[in-house]
Every structure is written in structure tokens, then in C-alpha cells.
Amino acid sequence: MDKESLSIVKIGGNIVDNPEALELFLADFHHLKGRKLLIHGGGVLASRMAAQLGIETKMEQGRRITDAETLKLVTMVYAGWINKNIVAALQKIGCNAIGLSGADGNAIPALRRSPIPVDYGYVGDPDPKKVNADFLSQLIESGITPVFCAITHDGNGSLLNTNADTIAYSLATALSGKYETSLYYCFEKEGVLKDVNDPQSMIPSMDRAESEAYKKQGIIADGMIPKLDNSFRAIENGVKEVIILHARNLLSKRGTILVKNQYLSDII
Amino acid sequence: MDKESLSIVKIGGNIVDNPEALELFLADFHHLKGRKLLIHGGGVLASRMAAQLGIETKMEQGRRITDAETLKLVTMVYAGWINKNIVAALQKIGCNAIGLSGADGNAIPALRRSPIPVDYGYVGDPDPKKVNADFLSQLIESGITPVFCAITHDGNGSLLNTNADTIAYSLATALSGKYETSLYYCFEKEGVLKDVNDPQSMIPSMDRAESEAYKKQGIIADGMIPKLDNSFRAIENGVKEVIILHARNLLSKRGTILVKNQYLSDII
């Protein structure tokens, strides 16, 4: 029997931080047909709240260093304020959402990252093989839309701050055993751009070899690097398609499509 | 067919705020046999965090006034930090918990309280008839233990701060259609005390008439009044038993037992 389709959508912190953009996005998300699941960021709001509380935001290679105080802060902001507001907003428009962290239902067990070479503190990397896919598909099959924040746990009582793109990759990969999964990374740009200041320079499709070439040229840099790594890992591990796109283009799916092999896909 | 038993346990903010007491309590909760559900407070931690953020805590008749800033704060503290830490701690000891607010799965729709005579702000009162008992029993029957924070929603996009005792009453009442429910209000005293400074003065059992008499004498006052009102409403609406007890006595169930009618229960 053919697998059912599942859309896994990741929405970045800049959209989450803009109430009007978020409302428009959630309406589009609600209009996505079929089974779906949302992952949200929230780093912008967390940084602002950190400043308000006098907690210094330490970054290393585009990633937050999470000491005990920062873990408390991001858990409050991601799992509390942002997650529950998104759930309430989705409920308002008739989408039966449930907000989850990776600790809930043991949905996403993670391993605290090794302190060598960089000690990121309470930061975890999930193992897609350990994602509780049965629990999630049970929710999805009863008509519920899971909404994940970027907090996981180590199974030993500790919460862990986790990259939201990586959570999206892990969920998409784990659920591709049960569903034909499509992964959408939504953010505030048209897709992967050759020139970051020119929306017209969007690259329509890309395979891993091309992405490596762009990296060498410095065209792909910063936060886009882990996003693309996650994307290629996803399509190499059973995810049907990955698209990087502007949040306002979710329904049209216009953005950069990542493909397994550009040459093969041209022939087919 | 006989209904299955369900234990609904409410744990107060003073225990939640004490890591050692909380750990002991969660171990006991895990050892409670059968189906169960937890509701936690968190007012103490919220007040401390409010002070840290320079947000003034306004109280009226033992209840917090919830302006927009306070709603954000309590959502962060209750639904974020406390809820996810309790879930992670339960997962650690093998209890498959899931953390929920009333917005998740539309579990507990609530009505924003009328601003007359006192405007409590973003405060909601749940209607037990609207609790999504099917969703909750579906979770419970698949071996999951729901853990509720005291945040609900109005179905129109707004989160609402809600008294945790009232949530416990609403859940116990709503679920008594499907289960034989017992409701345990756990806090840091032995039960209802005749003399608040003497643990030996615990009243072993009480009906509504006796409770009213104690109120008139000033023996029952402050936060105990709504707790008892919720308790008697619960047993008058199908809940099998309500016990008010010290958190450390959860397994022995030693505390003040609320009964429908003391005279009748003496005869039976």
C-alpha cells in the first residue's frame, strides 16, 4: 500500500518574532492539505529576553552556548511562550495542534554534545533512529498536528537546547519509514541565494556536489551550511523532497529544491 | 463493565519550588498504581522570576492579577520551565509523561473571567463540560501520563492563566464519565488543619456543611477556601473521592478526606 504523505515544516525565528508574518504563515500552514507537523525556532526572542534578564548571549559558529541559565531561558521562551502561543493561534483557526518538546512522550531523545572541541553546554543532538515515530504517528493519525519547539532531553532528567533545523531533519527522517515525507525549511529569504542581497538570484535546485562548490566559493555560508547539511542528509535517508523557501511561499512551494543528484534528476 | 480507576494528582507550587521535595514526590507519583494524571502549580517561582524581570506581582483575594506581561511570564514559567522539567524528570524514572497546557489538543477550553467585580486580566475559568476527555483518555489508554500546567486558552488565540486547583477539579469531573476518578490535592501541610501551626490538628474527614461551619469560625481561610470549594464541587459531580494531603503522603493517602455527607458516610 502507498504511504500517506506528511509535510514537515520548519519556521525560523525571524518569522516567529513578527506577529503579522507569523499569523499569515500559520493560516497558510493550516491550508496545507493532508498530514503535517510544525517545528519552530525562536532565537531572536530568546536573545531579546536574555538581554532583559542580563544574561549574556554567547555564540560559537552560529550556535548558542547554553549554560544553565540560558537553558532555563530558552526552555521558557521556546517551550513556553512561543510554543503555546502558536498552538493557541492554530486552535483559533481550527487546526487541532499539540505543542511538544522532545521530552514529551520521549518524542526526541538526544545526546548531549561532546565538550570537545567546543563546549556548547546543554546542547543535544538527536538520533533519528531514536525518535518515537509510533507515538507521533498515533497523534497524527488521530487528526492532531504536532508543533515542536527546539528543546529535547537526554533521558536522564536534563533538557537540552537543540538546533531546530536538526530537529526538523530528525523528525522527517524518522517519519519517512511510515510516511512519504516532504521537508520545508521556511525562513525570510526566497531560498538559497547566489547573492544574499538579490532575491532574484535564488538557485532553483541543487545537489550536494553543487552545494559543496558554492560553499568553497563562499556563496553558501553561516547558518545556511547546517541547513543544507541537514537537507542533504534528509534526502539521502528516505525523505522524498526538501525545499528551502520564504515562509510566504509555503503553499506555492517556490524555493530552492534540494535533489539527490542534479545530473540524474535532469535525465529523469 | 466497571470503570477503570484514574488518579488525578495536583501538586502545589511550594513543592515544585523545592528540587529535593519534588524529586521525592515524582518518585511516589510514579509508584502510584494504574492510570494517572498530574497538574502542577508554580506561583512561587513565577513571583521570583517576576521580581527578577521587574514585573510587579499584583494579588487580589489570593489570586494573581494577570496583565499581558504577567501572562507571558507565567506561560514561560509554568508551560515552559516547570512543565518540561517535570516531564524530563518523569521520563528519567520510566514514566512516559507528556506536558500539556489547556490549549494543546484543545484539552481545556476556558472562558476569560468577567472583569466585574474584579478585573483579573488574562485569567480563565474552564468549563468541565468542554474538557476534551476523549483526547485525554486516548493518551492515557496508550500508556501516557499527561502533566498539566495551569495555562488554558479561550479558543480565540489567547492563553489564559488559570488556577491549578480549578484545573484539577475540571479534569477530575470531566474524566469521571470515563473513569472512577480520585482527586488528590498535594501540598506542604498534612491536610486541612484546625490550627495552621499544629500538624496534629488535621481534620480526618469533612463534608460541605462542616466546611462552611469552619469557614465561619475563620478556621478555614485564604487559599484553602477555593481548594475546598473545588473539592466539594468535584465529589458532587461524579468524582469518587477527594483527599487533601501532604505531598509526602501520596502513597499512604493520609490526609483530609472530603465526603459528600458526613452523617450518611458514618451510617454507611
Taken in order of first residue, the domains within chain A and their CATH numbers are 5-267 (3.40.1160.10)
DSSP A137: H
The answer to whether the Cβ–Cβ distance between B87 and A101 falls below 8 Å is yes
Q: What is the pLDDT of residues A139-161, one digit of tens each?
A: 999 999 999 999 999 999 999 99
As a whole number, mean pLDDT of residues B196-205 equals: 94
The answer to whether the Cβ–Cβ distance between B103 and A105 falls below 8 Å is no
B40/A contact by beta carbon, under 8 A: no
Size of interface A-B (CB pairs under 8 A): 114
As a whole number, mean pLDDT of residues B200-225 equals: 93
The answer to whether the Cβ–Cβ distance between A88 and B153 falls below 8 Å is yes
B17, three cell numbers: 519550588
The answer to whether the Cβ–Cβ distance between A153 and B100 falls below 8 Å is no
Give residue B221's pLDDT band: very low, low, confident or very high (50, 70, 90). confident
Statement: residue A92 has pLDDT above 90: yes
Lowest mean pLDDT among A62-66, A75-79, A111-115, B145-149: A62-66
As a whole number, mean pLDDT of residues A78-93 equals: 98
**What does the pLDDT read at residue A266?**
53
**What does the pLDDT read at residue A55?**
87
User: What residues of B are in contact with residue A80 (Cβ under 8 Å)?
Assistant: 75-81, 83
ipTM here: 0.95
A171/B contact by beta carbon, under 8 A: no
B106/A contact by beta carbon, under 8 A: yes
Statement: residue A62 has pLDDT above 80: no
Give residue B261's pLDDT band: very low, low, confident or very high (50, 70, 90). confident
Q: What percent of chain B has pLDDT over 90?
A: 82
Q: CA-nearest residue of chain B to A91? A: B155
Nearest CA to B144 out of A134, A224, A53 is that of A134
User: What residues of B are in contact with residue A77 (Cβ under 8 Å)?
Assistant: 76, 80
**What does the pLDDT read at residue A151?**
98
* Nearest CA-CA distance, residue B159 and chain A, Å: 7
The answer to whether the Cβ–Cβ distance between B75 and A84 falls below 8 Å is yes
As a whole number, mean pLDDT of residues A47-60 equals: 84
Statement: residue A265 has pLDDT above 60: no
Q: What is the pLDDT of residues A167-179, one digit of tens each?
A: 999 999 999 999 9
CA A154 to CA B99: how far, in whole Å? 16
The answer to whether the Cβ–Cβ distance between B85 and A98 falls below 8 Å is no
Nearest CA to A165 out of A75, A41, A79 is that of A41
**What does the pLDDT read at residue B54?**
86
Statement: residue B265 has pLDDT above 60: no
**What does the pLDDT read at residue B62?**
66
Q: Which residues pair with A36 in a beta bridge?
A: A7
Q: CA-nearest residue of chain B to A51? A: B53
**What does the pLDDT read at residue B53?**
83
B101/A contact by beta carbon, under 8 A: yes
**What does the pLDDT read at residue B268?**
47
- Single pTM value for the model: 0.95
Taking all residues of chain B, what is their mean pLDDT, rounded to a whole number? 93
Q: What is the pLDDT of residues A1-44, one digit of tens each?
A: 689 999 999 999 889 999 999 999 999 999 999 999 999 999 88
Give residue A264's pLDDT band: very low, low, confident or very high (50, 70, 90). low
Residue carrying the nine cell digits 512516559: B96
Whether the CB-CB separation of B232 and B173 falls below 8 Å is answered with no
The answer to whether the Cβ–Cβ distance between B103 and A99 falls below 8 Å is yes
B157/A contact by beta carbon, under 8 A: yes
Q: For residues B2-27, b (16+ Cβ closer than 10 Å) or e, as one string?
A: eeeebbbbbbbbebbbeeebbeebbe
Read out DSSP for chain B? -PPPEEEEEEE-HHHHT-HHHHHHHHHHHHHS-SEEEEEE--HHHHHHHHHHHT----EETTEE-B-HHHHHHHIIIIIIIIHHHHHHHHHHTT--EEEE-TTGGG-SBEEEPPSSS---BSBEEE-GGGS-HHHHHHHHHTT-EEEE-SEEE-SSS-EEE--HHHHHHHHHHHHTTTSEEEEEEEESSSSSBSSTT-GGGB-SEE-HHHHHHHHHTTSS-TTHHHHHHHHHHHHHTT-SEEEEEEGGGTTTT-EEEE-S-HHHHHH-
Nearest CA to B122 out of B76, B84, B158, B175 is that of B158
